[in-house]
Amino acid sequence: MGQTLSEPVVEKNSDSGGDERLIFGVSSMQGWRISMEDAHAAVLDLQTAAEDGAAAKPTTGVDKRLSFFGVYDGHGGDRVAQFAGEHIHQIIAKQEAFKKGDIEQALKDGFLATDRAILNDPRYEEEVSGCTASVGILSATKIYVGNAGDSRSVLGVKGRAKPLSFDHKPQNEGEKARITAAGGFVDFGRVNGNLALSRAIGDFEFKKSAELAPEQQIVTAFPDVTVHDISDDDEFLVVACDGIWDCQSSQAVVEFVRRGIASKQPLTKICENMMDNCLASNSETGGVGCDNMTIVIIGLLRGKTQEEWYEEIAKRVANGDGPSEFRGPGVHHNFDDSDSGYDVDMDQKSKTFGGNQRGRIILLGDGTEVLTDSDDTEMFDHQDEDKDLDSQVHKGTISGRETDSKPSADAEKKEGIYLEDHPVANSFLTNSIESKETTAEKAEAKGQ
């Protein structure tokens, strides 16, 4: 954890925009940290923003109009993050693959080219900082996500969180294999006992092997890329740094954003409320809620007007269209968004460190961390939790009625169908049901 201030800096840097394809809101906040090391980019027209203008436009194979959104979480300083925020979208748009319409390859080439640009710039000759990069390029029909590090991009699909990126942590099997093959090691979940993520822009002290390709270095800027075809169920994309994801699961963020939309809040206001909700009430929480925070929300209009999009989501929420079982504490951490497409609490599975341990670490409203001995289903009344979440979400409502988002019985039945092929989710749901049945049986026996 970095050094903290005596009082948090809660002023927000917010922006918004949109066109007939999408709308967006973005906000960032320094919080408890002594400096702001996050950067971001929100570029509605990527081709126009690229330095080469028309020369950078894809000529084939992709929708002609593209938008770009990126979050860059700096560490060891802000210079690399600031460079990424100002230039990475331009560098991607200059790649030959981009001009040919191969956006997936352009993202891969662009991330590595950004690293080279910094390394070859004499102004950064002794630069020691680095940053994550989680970026989305959106057309009218597709989302392309490139990710290096532990910032994250998550799609809201009719109320369900679908990860479009996956955190690069040193203890991950594939990441650890690359690190050790390049001559590094992982100690206490950190690269060479130092860096808590395994891919990043910058961090050149971990990229010194002349014999290895950029993708094979101890730490690499090479991104994972996900391509997603936009459907009618896709509602919005959230891109945020770990200052958000360390406090909230992907599913909790999707539900929070969705309720804000249902109550007709501007996307910037939802971003600001989310950061306020994650901010620790004191700086003694072990770092959770004390980090810089940046979040971008992109609404996918899918041929609708902005007003129609808001109304559609409000109706879906009112009708209980969305998940009901994956709701833990309002603010917590230690989450693993697996490639199954479901948001699963890491603490429901075996711990990577410290042995098998039931329960989870919870950040209470006063900033206190508590290690529990029980699962969420034994500790929390989900209806009470929803009320608490609603009280946070409804700050800043500008118009429209508030809706009851409690799922209907039919919606809960659909949930079982949606999760039937997911063993971890099924185990969690089975334990939840058994816990409720046991509680009911005990109550009945006591009454007799």
pLDDT of residue 62: 58
What is the rounded average pLDDT of the residues 29-49?
95
Q: pLDDT class for 49, splitting at 50, 70, 90?
A: confident
100 close to 61: Cβ distance less than 8 angstroms: yes
Q: Is the pLDDT of residue 208 over 90?
A: yes
pLDDT digits (tens, 9 = 90+) for 262-313: 999 999 999 999 999 999 999 887 789 999 999 999 999 999 999 999 999 9
* Four-point Cα dihedral 107, 110, 115, 121, nearest 10: -160
Q: Which helix (H) or strand (E) holds 87?
A: helix 79-94
Overall size of the chain counted in residues: 448
The candidate with the shortest Cα–Cα distance to 169, out of 111, 118, 245, 115, is: 245
Residue 398 confidence (pLDDT): 37
Domains annotated for the chain, with CATH where assigned, are 11-318 (3.60.40.10), 335-447 (no CATH)
Give the β-pairing of 343-345 and 361-363.
Answer: unpaired
pLDDT of residue 305: 98
Q: So what's the pLDDT on residue 284?
A: 85
53-66 average pLDDT score? 61
Q: Is the predicted pLDDT of residue 212 greater than 90, yes or no? A: yes
pLDDT digits (tens, 9 = 90+) for 98-114: 999 999 999 999 999 99
Q: How far apart are CA 33 and CA 113, in angstroms?
A: 30
Residue 382 has pLDDT above 70, yes or no: no
Q: E-strand spans in 140-197? A: 142-148, 152-157, 160-163, 186-187, 190-191
Nearest to 160 by CA among 26, 258, 272: 258
The whole-number pLDDT of residue 287 equals 83
pLDDT at position 175 over 90: yes
pLDDT of residue 51: 54
When mean pLDDT is compared across 31-35, 59-63, 159-163, the lowest value belongs to 59-63
User: What value does the mean pLDDT take over residues 321-331?
Assistant: 51
Query: Which tens digits make up the pLDDT trace of 344-363?
Result: 333 333 233 333 333 333 33
Question: What mean pLDDT do residues 57-79 have?
Answer: 85
Q: Is pLDDT at 131 greater than 70 in this prediction?
A: yes
Confidence class of residue 322 from pLDDT cuts 50, 70 and 90? confident
Q: Which residue has the tokens 């230039």?
A: 87
Which pLDDT belongs to residue 285? Answer: 75
Task: State the average pLDDT for the chain.
Answer: 79
Residue that wins the pLDDT comparison between 244 and 378: 244
Instruction: Look at residue 241 in the predicted model and tell me its pLDDT.
Output: 98
Q: Which of 329, 337, 336 is nearest to 369 (CA)?
A: 329
Task: Supply the pLDDT for residue 48.
Answer: 85
